[in-house]
Amino acid sequence: MSDAVKFDAKMLEAMVCPVTHAGLKYDAKAQELVSKTAGLAFPIRDGIPVMLVDEARKLA
């Protein structure tokens, strides 16, 4: 994973959950943006957040 493109955490300030419009938390280890209010984790692929509900992982 060392060759992976890093997500610009500064972008996080402008991003919100597409479901709840609440703020997101960046999980660098999992490369996900987490919406605790929606119970979803959105993947980051090649440095680009995939903010589609169908692509999100449900939190346990």
pLDDT digits (tens, 9 = 90+) for 34-43: 999 999 999 9
Q: For the chain, which residues make up each domain, given as ranges?
A: 9-58
Reply yes or no on whether the pLDDT at 1 is more than 70: no
SS3 41: strand
As a whole number of Å, the end-to-end CA separation of the chain is: 25
DSSP bridge partners of 33: 26, 42
pLDDT tens digits for 4-26? 567 777 888 889 999 999 999 99
Q: What is the pTM of this model?
A: 0.85
Q: What fold characterizes domain 9-58? A: N-terminal domain of TfIIb (2.20.25)
**Nearest by Cα to 17 from 52, 44, 57, 55:** 52
